[in-house]
Amino acid sequence: MTTPTKTATRRGALKTLAGGAAAAALPLWARYTHAQSAEPIRIGFQQHRTGIGAAYGRWYGRTTEAAVGLINAGGGINGRPVEIVAEDDGTDPKRGAEVVEKFANQHGCDVGFGTLFSHVVIGSAPRAGELKLPYFVVSEGTHVSSGMLNRYTLQPGITDVRSQVISMAPFITETLGKKVTMIFPDYGFGYDHRDALAPAIEAQGGEVLAKIAIPPSETSFTRYFPKIPRDTEVLYHVMVGPAVLTFVKELGEFFGGQGPALFGFIDSLEAVAINSPGLDFLEGSHFWEGMCRHQQPDETAHEAFYREAVGVDARGASVNDPADVSTYGHMFGCWETLHVIKAGMEAAGYRGPQDRAALIEAVEAMSDMPQSREHPQGAKRFNGKTHQVFGHQFISQVKNGTLMRVHTTAIEDSLYPDMVDYTTQAF
């Protein structure tokens, strides 16, 4: 049997010609041929609407909405409006990869954006790389700068755990104590803390006595606490998940007013009011904050503008519901990342998916970002080789139930040698 070869027939040629003519005549078609299209720029927003990251997802959503509103009010990107296509990933890595696929193949998004939980980032980034979809994460994980991911994944709006830890370790050892025990969530983000803290504390002449991992889906915590060694001077705690309020409450009940000094990441308290019943014991303890939840006396105009735009009051709660406390220490990352996307697209003259590589190169070329309305958290320095941004870190102390900033680290304190050069990878 022979395979019939396709030959051009008169009928076929006529069909093709007719189709082509019809397509060319369509007025809709014509819009795409112009460089300055009125089509919106579509940003796929991978949102943790459900699952263990739901509280973050809610506020990442509100911040994104506010930032896009501001960008659109200012004329959009390259004169085109920005449209957010939000998809729930259930804070689940497998679902995350599927969401990235939907962005690229189904929704026709220009970029993917907004993922926080590190296991979702690590699960989704390889797919984004395969689909050649620029993937702007807002995660804090060191997975971007460690070289674990790919050229299509960038973190230009929020600093990573390693830089946070090394810049704050001197404060911990000098102010609180040298014998540290750490409690961290048992997954990617927690491992960044685990791997970064011990070397940073040892470099200051201190020592990490014990490392206690707790699954982020845990609901009861007291049984983990007896592993804290008796001679601990500082308890370094960072916890995420729906039960963080239970975590801090049980921590207070466990120590009962005694015990080591506490140094926490605000993650342990994100979306939780600090004056919740049972949290009085936090008075005097220290927290890392990505951005100060409670309004500081020296708040900058940029930050005040941002605070109002995202609808958050002086206590860091929603202006509509004081019980709805924000994830203020992290969500600024969405705001800043969206402005980096805008700046990158404008620098690259971005027209459509054919310019994705140019967009990444434009972001890679960025370095210093001064504090501004676009960067209300503070000045930043982007490292194009490692795709990671560096910035200031804040340490706050609970005074009369309010988080007051007591220390700000310099950008230089948070730098570390490059672990990867993504610019050498092919697109």
Which residues contact other proteins (rule: CB under 8 A)?
49-51, 54-55, 57-58, 215, 217-220, 222-228, 230, 242-243, 245-246, 253-256, 258-259, 271, 276-278
What is the sign of the dihedral through the CA atoms of 279, 314, 243 and 216?
negative
Other CB atoms within a 10 A radius of the CB of residue 239 amount to 24
Q: Which residue has the tokens 């804290």?
A: 228
Q: How far is the CB of 277 from other proteins (least distance, A)?
A: 6
Which tokens is 337 given? 């990342």
Sheet containing strand 207-214, edge to edge, reads 207-214, 179-185, 234-237, 261-265, 286-289, 394-399, 402-408
Q: Which is nearer to other proteins, 224 or 416 (CB)?
A: 224
Q: Which is nearer to other proteins, 10 or 230 (CB)?
A: 230
Q: Which is nearer to other proteins, 2 or 258 (CB)?
A: 258
Q: Which is nearer to other proteins, 174 or 280 (CB)?
A: 280
Q: Which is nearer to other proteins, 20 or 215 (CB)?
A: 215
* CA-wise closest residue to 115 among 133, 100, 132: 100
Q: How far is the CB of 238 from other proteins (least distance, A)?
A: 18
Quick one: DSSP state of residue 106?
I
Q: How far is the CB of 23 from other proteins (least distance, A)?
A: 43
Q: How far is the CB of 327 from other proteins (least distance, A)?
A: 12
* CA-wise closest residue to 232 among 288, 177, 285, 174: 177
Determine the length of the chain: 427
Q: How far is the CB of 138 from other proteins (least distance, A)?
A: 19
Mapping DSSP to helix (H, G, I), strand (E, B) and coil, where does residue 137 land?
A: coil
Q: How far is the CB of 202 from other proteins (least distance, A)?
A: 25
Q: How far is the CB of 218 from other proteins (least distance, A)?
A: 7
Q: Which is nearer to other proteins, 57 or 123 (CB)?
A: 57
CB 53 within 8 Å of CB 91: yes
CB 346 within 8 Å of CB 272: no
Q: At what angle do helices 188-203 and 118-130 cross, to 10 degrees?
A: 110
Q: How far is the CB of 254 from other proteins (least distance, A)?
A: 5
Q: Which residue has the tokens 């054919």?
A: 354
Which tokens is 262 given? 């506490």
Pairing relation of β-strands 402-408 and 394-399? Answer: antiparallel
Q: Which is nearer to other proteins, 115 or 153 (CB)?
A: 115
* CA-wise closest residue to 295 among 283, 312, 274: 312
Q: Which is nearer to other proteins, 70 or 244 (CB)?
A: 244
